[in-house]
Amino acid sequence: MRIIDHHIVGHSGGGAGRTGDVFDPNTGKVQARVTLGTKADLDRAVAAAQAAQPAWAATNPQRRARVMFRFKELVEANMQSLAELLASEHGKVVADAKGDIQRGLEVVEFACGVPHVLKGEYTQGAGPGIDVYSMRQPLGIGAGITPFNFPAMIPLWMGAVATACGNAFILKPSERDPSLPVRLAELFIEAGMPEGIFQVVHGDKEMVDAILDHPAIAAVSFVGSSDIAHYVYRRGVDAGKRVQAMGGAKNHGIVMPDADLDQVVSDLAGAAFGSAGERCMALPVVVPVGDKTADALREKLIPAIDALRVGVSTDAEAHYGPVVTAQHRERIENWIQTGVDEGAELVVDGRGFKLQGHEEGFFIGPTLFDRVTPQMSAYKEEIFGPVLQIVRAPDFETALRLPSDHQYGNGVAIFTRNGHAAREFAARVNVGMVGINVPIPVPVAYHTFGGWKRSAFGDTNQHGMEGVKFWTKVKTVTQRWPDGSPDGGNAFVIPTMG
């Protein structure tokens, strides 16, 4: 049985101690085992990071950027094999896996510009003979705790910016699909990054707690469910760390009466069911405004859902593959039953789906509910599966309130031809990321990603300049070069720039 071990400097491996099963979601069979690390494993990684980080921080930014350029070239050259490896453990189709990797590479491209984004500010003559300037310096050692659903993109969101800024970075990926992050660490070394700067440790809650408690780790970035995000935030902050913790989501798509319904249905098919709905930026709730809009949308959605092809990860014709584990499939099916019990109308039922030749795989068919209400727990909570819920709204104001009042505030979209309605919605909705005729409004890498309310804990978002701010600290210098003349005996007066 293949053992997936840590990527730690000086660690000989061997897979001793506790391990976790890594499944092939397409077959339902265990394909590997991953080492579940301990505090001692983390201590080894931290020691290696402490040894390597000062020299890396002292390396000029353009040389660090060249490592990013080379890493990008290596990932692109190995894209097919990396995507197949990712898909084999996650279950998403290979084309979607390539998108996962590509969105991570876009942040690497941003990190290639680190010499520019690390520039400080300078004021000449802030006072008599006094100049003031600032510089951005790395924190030291950072850590990332990432979820199963994007095993390439999210580690690169964190690690590329952190290391480009001069930090050492320790990644704890999901134990469900851990192979691709290890491969990324290997490619960073091949690209010229010093050993100890980007390392991977595996584990469960024991490793997470060790990271949150370790005094040498200055900052932690997390993506996962909201309850765990809140836990990570509180424990990390209590330990004196800088923490950003991204949580769950329940993104809404508002469909105005003037929207192009054919385009909306096409967008919803991908946004609700792509990657089996296992995305924090999926669109699992659609809010048509007015019953006429709702009825027309439902009529078009049913045949579009029936036409979706569920297949194995390597099926080039499949729209989506299996979910990540049998337990997650059971959780999704339980939420579907909850929706039925709460009185929602089950229009398309994806439970019990079996793929011929892969009957033991973790597959679930697309599901559609209508007449879901805000009082239902199946609406309030994140299902994280291929389930689309129709929540009817009588008017624009009601539609605006639904995402604004929801506990999550990650993303939202509005579909309309009316510029005034779109502008009004974008300005007033209480959600962190807004799409206007864009169903999955994930910002480009040089902007920033982050939700509101229970979708995010902490003051700083992922990637873009917000990411640079998170992984650096500002030092401000006030300097004067006296000419040797006495200054009038004002040394005991607080300095001013008058």
What backbone torsions phi and psi does residue 115 show, to the nearest 5 degrees?
Answer: -60, -35
Q: Give the Cα separation of 26 and 332 in Å (integer).
A: 17
Please report, to the nearest 10 degrees, the dihedral formed by the alpha carbons of residues 251, 344, 229, 458 taken in order.
Answer: 40
Q: Give the Cα separation of 7 and 15 in Å (integer).
A: 12
180-192 b/e (C-beta count within 10 Å ≥ 16 → b):
bbbbbbebbbebe
The whole-angstrom distance between residue 150's C-alpha and the CA centroid of its chain comes to 7
486 Cβ contact list (under 8 Å, min separation 6): none
The reply to whether 280 belongs to the active site is: yes
**Residue at 17: amino acid letter:** G
CA distances from 137 to 54, 146, 220, 456, 478 (A): 11, 25, 17, 25, 17
Q: Shortest CA distance to 222 belongs to which of 183, 189, 248?
A: 248
Give the three-class secondary structure for 477.
strand
Q: Which helix (H) or strand (E) holds 151?
A: none
Exactly one of 107, 280, 283, 286 is catalytic; which is it? 280
Residue position matching structure tokens 């092939």: 24
487 Cβ contact list (under 8 Å, min separation 6): none
Active site residues: 280
